[in-house]
């Protein structure tokens, strides 16, 4: 996540992630400068200042999005500020000092949150309710869950409307309990296994995802769009002509709203959900809006969990990917401005929930381009072995050689398997791709593993696509 630059003070403001393991009792102290915004000199990189949103981070609430450089009004005066809707569920007003440092001004919750008892009005340091702070050997529920009030998608600010727009989520929680894990370079090391994240939602809630519009000075809610059947994973673009564009929902829609009122003006269904930030540009006097369509990683994983909790469809993309390129053109009028929209689609597949897989035969999802061949492997406990997965290319298709074809997010459901690497690159061979996955059984028995192929293909003269395919296999540990 890139920073934001203030030319007047020659300062770059950058966001930072959370520490690992996730549980703060394993790393006592505030853990500077995690979950923070840092102010760096643009020439030397020397730190000028910082603001930490929550000390001794224990909820996976990383604050990697840099705050927006915004001028707002405070006590009748204009403040050169930083505005940040944090993953912890609070909206922060900070001051950009002339020397590039950062001062706290105010914060208020933009989604319900049960971790902070209060926030110090002078320093911005939260008082944490320890009943909602997980630790090693101590389970605790916290809301919002680890995906936060908002996750990585970007917010936006429109100086003409005076409104900040936040893609947010409510009515979800996690219950985590930490454990001590040996650190193995290149492997998952957070103090909790993926199947033990214990994500939950209020099944009676009227919505989960939302798009909020708040006054930049007061934080007052001006309008909001609620999404009863989806989380919100879309970054925001707002224009000088008073429009707002975003995706982020599992119905694959790309939408345009009136930035002042929240009225939906236009929509277009793409091949997949949209996480990417839209962009706008002008060619020969025509303004275009482009966006990449692709729903994966956390959004896809969470979609699978929601299918189990509230019955949502797991798969929210079309079965046959369309070529990469401009798919269609529509027109919408907002005020006196006529804009031509081009939806830019990149085919991608949605992963299902690891928790739903159970013990299955080695297999992987099918695709129009590849035939997948995966074989289970057996080895003595503690001895290295290699699990081979082969993707045979179908007639009429070609491997996309310039793409980083790989297997990612390898994990063991019961911690019965250690991996040589969590990311394994494919080797292009005649007729397809080969993946050699180094494994080692850590205890006897049959241990299911899970991962995802990220591969590309070419079909015909102009169709190019990148897809995500689920991999399931078993490693049998023998005495």
pLDDT tens digits for 178-192? 999 999 988 899 999
Give the DSSP H or E segment for 446: strand 445-459
State how far the Cα of 50 lies from the Cα of 14, in Å rounded to an integer.
9
Inform me whether the pLDDT recorded for 334 exceeds 50: no
| 151: annotated active-site residue | no
Looking at every residue in the chain, the average pLDDT score rounds to: 87
| Catalytic hit among 6, 60, 217, 258 | 60
Inform me whether the pLDDT recorded for 336 exceeds 50: no
pLDDT digits (tens, 9 = 90+) for 341-399: 333 332 222 222 222 222 334 444 456 788 888 889 999 999 999 999 999 998 889 89
Q: What's the first-to-final CA gap in the chain, in angstroms?
A: 46
pLDDT of residue 457: 86
Using DSSP bridges, classify how beta strands 337-345 and 325-334 pair: parallel, antiparallel or unpaired: antiparallel
State how far the Cα of 169 lies from the Cα of 209, in Å rounded to an integer.
4
pLDDT, greater one: 395 or 318: 395
The band of 475, judged by pLDDT with boundaries at 50, 70 and 90, is very high
CATH numbers and ranges of domains, the chain: 359-478 (2.60.40.10)
pLDDT, greater one: 27 or 76: 27
The band of 433, judged by pLDDT with boundaries at 50, 70 and 90, is very high
Task: Give the tokens for residue 192.
Answer: 């909790």
Mean pLDDT of 96-117: 96
The band of 315, judged by pLDDT with boundaries at 50, 70 and 90, is low
State how far the Cα of 382 lies from the Cα of 403, in Å rounded to an integer.
34
Inform me whether the pLDDT recorded for 458 exceeds 90: no
pLDDT digits (tens, 9 = 90+) for 108-132: 999 999 999 999 999 999 999 999 9
Residue closest to 358 by CA, chosen among 413, 301, 416: 413
Residue 26: phi and psi, rounded to 5, are: -85, -5
Task: Give the tokens for residue 377.
Answer: 């492997």
CA angle 81, 112, 60 (to 5 degrees): 75
Task: Give the tokens for residue 106.
Answer: 């105010």
pLDDT, greater one: 362 or 151: 151
Which pTM value belongs to this model? 0.71
8-17, 276-285, 387-396: range with highest mean pLDDT = 8-17
> Hey, which residues does 397 pair with through a beta bridge?
459
């Amino acid at each position: 996540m890139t920073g934001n630059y203030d030319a007047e003070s020659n300062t770059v403001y950058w966001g930072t992630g959370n520490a690992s393991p996730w549980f703060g009792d394993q790393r006592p102290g505030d853990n500077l400068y995690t979950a923070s915004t840092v102010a760096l000199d643009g020439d030397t990189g020397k730190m000028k200042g910082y603001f930490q949103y929550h000390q001794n981070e224990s909820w996976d609430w990383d604050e990697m999005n840099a705050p927006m450089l915004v001028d707002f009004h405070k006590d009748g005066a204009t403040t050169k500020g930083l505005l940040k809707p944090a993953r912890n569920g609070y909206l922060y007003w900070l001051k950009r000092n002339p020397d590039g440092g950062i001062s706290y001004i105010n914060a208020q919750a933009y989604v319900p949150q049960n971790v902070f008892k209060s926030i110090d009005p002078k320093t911005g340091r939260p008082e944490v309710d320890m009943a909602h702070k997980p630790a090693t050997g101590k389970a605790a529920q916290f809301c919002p869950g680890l995906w936060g009030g908002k996750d990585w998608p970007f917010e936006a600010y429109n100086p003409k409307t005076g409104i900040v727009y936040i893609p947010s989520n409510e009515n979800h929680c996690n219950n985590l309990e930490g454990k001590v894990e040996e650190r193995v370079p290149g492997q998952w090391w957070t103090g909790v296994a993926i199947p033990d994240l214990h994500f939950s939602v209020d099944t009676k809630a009227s919505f989960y995802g939302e798009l909020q519009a708040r006054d930049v000075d007061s934080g007052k809610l001006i309008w909001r769009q609620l999404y009863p059947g989806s989380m919100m994973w879309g970054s925001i673009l707002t224009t000088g002509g008073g429009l707002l564009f975003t995706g982020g929902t599992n119905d694959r829609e790309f939408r345009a709203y009136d930035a002042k009122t929240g009225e939906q003006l236009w929509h277009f269904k793409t091949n997949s959900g949209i996480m990417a930030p839209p962009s706008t540009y002008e060619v020969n006097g025509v303004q275009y809006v482009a966006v990449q369509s692709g729903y994966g990683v956390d959004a896809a994983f969470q979609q699978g969990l929601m299918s189990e909790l509230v019955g949502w469809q797991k798969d929210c993309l079309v079965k046959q990917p369309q070529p990469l390129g401009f798919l269609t053109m529509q027109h919408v009028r907002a005020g006196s401005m006529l804009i031509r929209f081009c939806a830019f689609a990149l085919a991608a597949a949605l992963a299902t929930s690891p928790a739903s897989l159970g013990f299955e035969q080695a297999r992987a999802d099918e695709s129009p381009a590849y035939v997948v061949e995966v074989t289970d492997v057996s080895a003595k406990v503690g001895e290295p072995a290699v699990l081979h997965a082969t993707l045979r290319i179908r007639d009429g298709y070609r491997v996309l050689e310039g793409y980083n074809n790989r297997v990612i997010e390898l994990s063991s459901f019961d911690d019965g398997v250690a991996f040589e690497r969590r990311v394994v690159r494919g080797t292009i061979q005649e007729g397809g791709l080969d993946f050699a996955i180094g494994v080692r059984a850590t205890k006897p028995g049959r241990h299911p593993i899970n991962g995802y192929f990220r591969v590309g293909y070419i079909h015909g003269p102009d169709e190019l696509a990148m897809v995500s395919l689920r991999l399931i296999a078993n490693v049998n540990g023998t005495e």
